Amino acid sequence: MVKDKSNFSGFTTPDVLVQVVDEHIPAMNVHTVQTKGSKTSTADVMYFIDGRESTNIINGRDATSKAYWDGPVLVVRTNMKDSKGNDVEMDDRWELSSDKQTLTRSSHVVTSTGGEVNLTLVCQKENAG
């Protein structure tokens, strides 16, 4: 994660956030590790990038997603419930830079209680070694 280019819109910015994207067309697996203070959490999700629906557990809750291509941008629409049982819809746009070294994920999150927020996560590619 590139902290100075990411925007968590008032939410606590992780100290470290690492995502490993493993694409096996038509599936894409995303493994995330993030640390905030002394707490580290992990998440593993899988999307079909051909528009088919996928189900995952996000933050301990059931989530349903559809991922599809909008030109060079991967759009992931996810519906789930928040910790209070309210509906949450997330629209993520994954954009890879032309040199394939920077991934920018722009998220628009809407809750059934009327709250909306925009988030931006910028990640720089690192070579596994």
Please report whether residue 42 resides in a domain. Answer: no
The CATH number for 64's domain is 3.30.1300
Radius of gyration of the chain (CA): 15
Please report whether residue 37 resides in a domain. Answer: no
Task: Decide if pLDDT at 29 tops 70.
Answer: yes
pLDDT band at 129 (very low <50, low <70, confident <90, very high): low
pLDDT in tens, 51-90: 999 999 998 899 999 999 999 999 999 999 988 899 999 9
**What's the pLDDT at 126?**
87
Please report whether residue 98 resides in a domain. Answer: yes
> Which residues constitute the domain of residue 78?
3-15+49-124
Residue found under tokens 């997603």: 65
Please report whether residue 39 resides in a domain. Answer: no
Please report whether residue 72 resides in a domain. Answer: yes
Query: Among 71, 87, 68, which residue's Cα sits nearest to residue 79?
Result: 87
**What's the pLDDT at 128?**
66
Please report whether residue 93 resides in a domain. Answer: yes
Name the more confident of 91 and 82. 91
Dist. CA 95–CA 16, nearest whole Å: 21
How many domains are there within the chain?
1
